[in-house]
Amino acid sequence: MGAISFTIETRAPLGARAGLLHTPHGVIRTPAFVPVGTKANVKGILPEQLKALGADVVLANTYHLYLQPGEKVVQDAGGLGKFMNWDGPTMTDSGGFQVFSLGAAFGKTISKFVKEEAPKEEGVAVYDEDVASQHGQLAVIDDEGVSFTSHLDGSLHRFTPERSVEIQQTLGADIFFAFDECTSPAAEFAYQREAMERTHRWAERSLKTHRQNIDANKKQAIFGIVQGGRHEDLRRESAREIASLGFDGIGIGGSFSKEDMRGALQAAVNELPEELPKHFLGIGEPGDILEGIANGMDLFDCVAATRIGRHGSIYTKRGIIHLKNGSYQNDFSPLDPETPVIGVEGFTRAYASHLVRSGEITGSVICSIHNIGFILNLVQEARQAILGGRFDEYRQEFLQRYKK
């Protein structure tokens, strides 16, 4: 038996499914949202709060933990979970998105989606402008791996598939990802193909490295990543190749336009083994999560919930609202009357607006807790709807109310 096992409990007619993903540190009830703790912390939210909100699993960033504090420090603490005082399942990404961030996307407002501005923080990567002026593009990709300059101190580093796996094995997460290249959504077709083929070669090397470590292979699972940008033919090809290699699960990586997301996703999913758990990387907008669930995705991760929360914006069943707007100064209604969130249900929009307009950190914390709770509630409701045989109705009802 491998490090994880996945059981599908119920399938909805159009592809959604509810399942149980068993890991060495507990069960993940799917579909599941995975809060992102980039540097081994979900910004503004303590582990016990995450548990209370219903989180089963958290994800940390390989690139950032490698640079600071270093994977050996995390290992000496007893692994990622013990280091951050989280006793549930953990995941790490491969650092592949940071390759994209420091390379093709460096200094630009390009994110995983076209026509969407990327905030200048937390791994979407428009890093320190002084470093940029000294070093220019901070990552250079070749067929063997990527050489990059630390955004912290300008030191030179090298990631290969083998090194990425080694770092992630040392960090000790229950599930981690093969090293991949996440391209810009604006990249030409020829480069999307080149990057996809490189991702396939890196996937083989990542998998081989992990399987050779017998001890780690018993304790940790590795997911391969499907790439191919917005192009459905590339997505199909990539899905077939990654599925043939024998990974424990599959990740669907960016990048594509919002308009192309459904087609690119469906093209990939149709080529993947149904029995494997599937993770939609970097997806966190409520409508996109429901789209992913409808197409058979089981896991989702994104920094957006805490990122927009820190800037005073919150999710509601009627769409995102921006509490810095003066219209909320005298709004004494709950943050979202339709979605009370444990720990912040007693706060009003007027109070949170006052805090974020005043620059008080408590305002950012309140909004971040609310947003994580909102997204966790969304996937929990979706799971119950699948189990109850009414997911499509639930999805349609939600989307009719929710305004982007």
Residues forming the active site: 93, 301
- Strand order of the β-sheet with 278-280 is 32-35, 299-302, 278-280, 249-252, 221-226, 175-177, 90-92, 58-60
State how far the Cα of 30 lies from the Cα of 53, in Å rounded to an integer. Answer: 15
Instruction: List Cβ<8 Å contacts ≥24 apart for 76-79.
Output: 78/172, 79/171, 79/172, 79/173
Q: How many CB atoms lie within 10 A of CB 8?
A: 15
176, 216 Cβ separation under 8 angstroms: no
Provide the sign of the torsion angle of the four alpha carbons 271, 272, 274, 280, taken in this order.
Answer: negative
State how far the Cα of 403 lies from the Cα of 396, in Å rounded to an integer. Answer: 13
Q: Which alpha helices (H) appear in 213-231, and where do they start and end?
A: 214-219
Burial of residue 3, with CB atoms counted within 10 A of its CB: 0-12 exposed, 13-18 middle, 19 or more buried: middle
How, if at all, do strands 146-149 and 139-141 pair?
antiparallel
How, if at all, do strands 299-302 and 32-35 pair?
parallel
Report the b/e string of 259-289 with b at 16+ CB within 10 A.
ebbeebbbbbbebbeeebbbbbbbbbbbebb
DSSP run (H or E) holding 221: strand 221-226
182, 256 Cβ separation under 8 angstroms: no
SS3 359: coil
For residue 225, give the nearest of 276, 174, 259 by alpha carbon: 276
Please give the angle made by the CA atoms of 231, 247 and 245, to the nearest 5 degrees. Answer: 70
DSSP symbols for 298-312:
-EEEESHHHHHHHTT
